[in-house]
A and B are shown apart, each in its own frame.
Chain A
Amino acid sequence: MGVTILTQFPVENKTGPQIIELLSKRISALGAVPQGQFLVDCETYSSVPALGHQRTVHVLHNSEQPATVFALLETGTKTIPLATDGLFDLLMMKMSSFYQSKKQTKAESKGPRFEIGDFCVKLGSVTVSSNFKGVLVEVEYKPCVVPAMCWDLIMEFMQGFLGSLGPTTPPSFLQNRMQDIYSPIDTIQQYLEHFTLFRKSPGPALIMRPQ
């Protein structure tokens, strides 16, 4: 598990599949090899009013860590991350009388996954309750575990196939954690950050059609 940087790719009057195809072509031209598909999904639950102060739990799954369920509890003042095993999903169902799933908020990012050298690139089209919202590009540099050490290197790599649209500053979530050892839950936090933005934004008025 290495450092992962997640960035949004602007859509600009194109459909999701068009952009994914464009980026797939570019990354393949650099010598990347397709390695299947990936999926990151997020479901959000909020506490019932009877529990007092409202809290929100985001439950996320990442196909990269298939046996793990990630949960992020937002208390309003801070976020408590938790990595658990698969049974956590069943526990949430048991607690449906305290935490209720928000309808129409299931967000997911899925698409092709590529490997190139020690990098892993994932091109995900994001949907919030089946509505296409945008494109997220995930780049993982697997050998390195400290973001500060390899940020410049990943930035150079991303600019290599995203051009000037690549990121120039580290994701806001990572900015305070550049010297820490990176762990899978940090990737999840980045995804949640983007999903929250996508949910708030009206998003492209495009509806994803089944391919």
Chain B
Amino acid sequence: MERDIEQLNSALNSVKILRSNVRCVFESVSNGLRADHGEESKESKYILELQELLTIVNNNLRDVENSVGNLTPPPGAFSLGNTTYLSQETTQERQQLYGQLVNSYKWTDKIREYSALAGNMLAANSFNKTYKTYSTTKRRKTQTSNHNVPPEIIENLITSIDRLFTDVTITAKRPFVPNPLIQVALGRVLRAVIAFKGLMIEWVVVKALSEDNDLWTESRYKVFRKVTENCHAAMCHFHSPMMPELAVRSFMHWFHSYITLFSAPCKRCSKHLQSNLPPTWRDLRSLEPYHEECK
């Protein structure tokens, strides 16, 4: 395929050269004798020039013949599927369609090419600040799509998380089947409403146990508003399109460390309170509690 295109290119090129040199011959013929041929034996000079030009054309013609001879003829008519009928369309307004179709085909082709490039670049330069390293063997096992997965897979993930921690109770609701909404009660400390998009976490809101479980209103307590903020940061941190299940699991592991939200003092200053808030940050790796200002 690649070779064919190369040959076609060189054939087109030699045709171009031939055309340009033929043009030179005609130019010279139309101009006739010029002043620069001098006075003496100007006819013979002119004939010589013409002969040279014709030799070049002759050579070029041979090149063209050679390169055309190298081309392999296509095996048969191109199969264009139903689009062939578009070109036979008689209605005036629909005659445009074929051109548009070709254009959009070119576009999608380009998009494929660019996205493949972008995919390679992003895989090489990871944009999130995670400490994770991807092993190539694991990467092959991933699904092609993370936001369009069968509900059973998500269901399994949620039940496995539910089993993982004894002090976490999960109630799931599914207003839209592939995108479940789960409520995670963390002991008697807090409750989070987590919205999934396929296997990825889309939104998290943390509230007190006594508050309603609306996804769109913030908690009325400062401490839970802060924890919500930190959960969003962690959600982005753990986000990994390549391994969505692992991302959810690591997020839940991290989230589980809030079980000591009120009881654990800050690791750095050993105090409970800093600007009237308990340590609302949990280190992403060690899960140790820190104040916002101490981390």
Contact = CB atoms under 8 A, between A and B. Distances in A.
Interface in A137-186: 141-146, 148-150, 152-153, 156-157, 160, 181
A92 interface: no
B278 interface: yes
Contacts, number: 53
Given A145-B188, A149-B189, A118 B221 contact: yes
A144 B187 CA distance: 12
Nearest to B220: A142
Interface in B245-291: 262-263, 265, 271-273, 275-278
Contacts of B223: 117-118, 143
Nearest to B211: A143
Interface size band for A = 20 to 34
Nearest to B279: A153
B196 interface: no
B273 A157 contact: yes
Interface of B (DSSP majority class): loop
Contact of B210 (A145, A149, A157, A160): A145
A1 interface: yes
B276 A116 contact: yes
Contacts of A181: 188
Contacts of B276: 31, 116-119, 157
Contacts of A119: 276
A182 B189 CA distance: 12
B273 A149 contact: no
Interface in A166-211: 181
A148 B187 CA distance: 13
Nearest to A154: B272
Contacts of B190: 143
Given A1-B210, A145-B188, A181-B188, A152 B222 contact: no
Nearest to A153: B272
B272 A118 contact: no
27 contacts: A117-B222, A117-B277, A118-B223, A118-B277, A119-B276, A141-B262, A142-B221, A143-B208, A143-B224, A143-B262, A144-B189, A144-B262, A145-B188, A145-B209, A145-B210, A146-B188, A146-B189, A149-B262, A149-B263, A150-B262, A150-B263, A152-B263, A152-B272, A153-B262, A153-B272, A153-B278, A156-B273
Interface of A: 1, 31, 116-119, 141-146, 148-150, 152-153, 156-157, 160, 181
